[in-house]
Amino acid sequence: MGKKVKKESETPCKETFEPLPVEGKTPATVVLLLSSPEEDILIKACEAIHTFAEKGDENRVSLLGLGALEPLCQLITHNNKLVKRNAFMALGIMATNGDVKNALKKLDVIPSIIDKLSLEEEVVVHEFATLCLASLSVDFVSKVQIFDNNGLPPLIQLLSSPDPDVKKNSLEIIFNLVQDHQSRLAVHELGGIPPLLELLNSDFPVIQHLVLKTLQSVTIDKDACNTFREEHGVEKLMDILNNTNFSDLHAEVLQVVANCVSDTESFQSDPQWWRTDKTDGVCFHPQHT
């Protein structure tokens, strides 16, 4: 019998498969595809999940049960722009559901979302990243996390976004945050009052209402109220009060004005802007009476 000869180790095959079309017909299959190393598959899987989640809350809860949330939270930091964009679109729609929102709070995803609010990112990423944060920011612990992770500076920057959805979502987050004293002061210190006033000119009533509700909270602070006046905020509010087309805004406008005139020291030091007589408890600028 001859001696056994050791086989030479085979070199790894360098050949690859031809592109293989993958078709997932069930949500469970598509969720499994979120773990694929292939970027093309990830793009399509995230897109499919976004489309499925858009159809209603029942689908969002189903995706949550199938384990879609954790891989999506990882994919929003992916280097491929299309993967990242589609993952954010899927995550943003899912986050509008209460059960998903509660699950998200346990995943410590807020720092990753805030990191994608930079001006270098695409507007679509901004839209769905702020949509996620808008859902989360109603919760006290999440508000603290957004503040502690320096979420306010990029959110204030996004008030000047060309996209109205980004503006609305950013405003909603800021409004939720300024219910707390620390955030109220920070919005003023970070220069948030001028972009808020600029948004009073928005064509979208929902944005105007959010601005006024946010200003109601911010102008509780004396220094913020002074800055508000310096930025001609009172004149802008009076223009709204004189416009019958904006009658739906008048109640909220009067609440902001009331904050400003409640500061009697500032009121007395700047008498040229105001008449001493009052109507409905509000002092009016001479040019508007």
Q: Are residues 81 and 149 both part of a single domain? A: no
Note whether residue 186 is domain-resident: no
Structure tokens at 4: 């056994």
Out of 83, 107, 131, pick the residue that ends a domain.
107
Kindly state the average pLDDT of the residues 140-149.
Answer: 96
H or E, element range at 266: helix 264-269
Note whether residue 182 is domain-resident: no
Q: Are residues 199 and 282 both part of a single domain? A: yes
> Would the pLDDT of 202 be above 70?
yes
Q: How many domains, the chain?
A: 3
Q: Are residues 209 and 280 both part of a single domain? A: yes
Say which residue the tokens 């993958």 belong to. Answer: 22
Least confident of 28-32, 173-177, 285-289: 285-289
Q: Are residues 129 and 101 both part of a single domain? A: no
Supply the CATH number for residue 89's domain.
1.25.10.10
The per-residue pLDDT for range 61-73, each reduced to its tens digit, is 999 999 999 999 9
The per-residue pLDDT for range 70-121, each reduced to its tens digit, is 999 999 999 999 999 999 999 999 999 999 999 999 999 999 999 999 999 9
Least confident of 129-138, 207-216, 227-236, 273-282: 273-282
Kindly state the average pLDDT of the residues 243-262.
Answer: 86
Q: Are residues 210 and 285 both part of a single domain? A: yes
> Percentages helix, strand, coil for the chain, rounded to the nearest 5?
65, 0, 35
Out of 81, 107, 133, pick the residue that ends a domain.
107
Structure tokens at 67: 């384990």
Which domain covers residue 101, as residue numbers?
Answer: 25-107
> Would the pLDDT of 14 be above 70?
no
In contact, 49 and 67? CB cutoff 8 Å: no
Q: Are residues 166 and 208 both part of a single domain? A: no
Length of the chain: 289
H or E, element range at 32: helix 27-33
Q: Are residues 88 and 156 both part of a single domain? A: no
Note whether residue 250 is domain-resident: yes
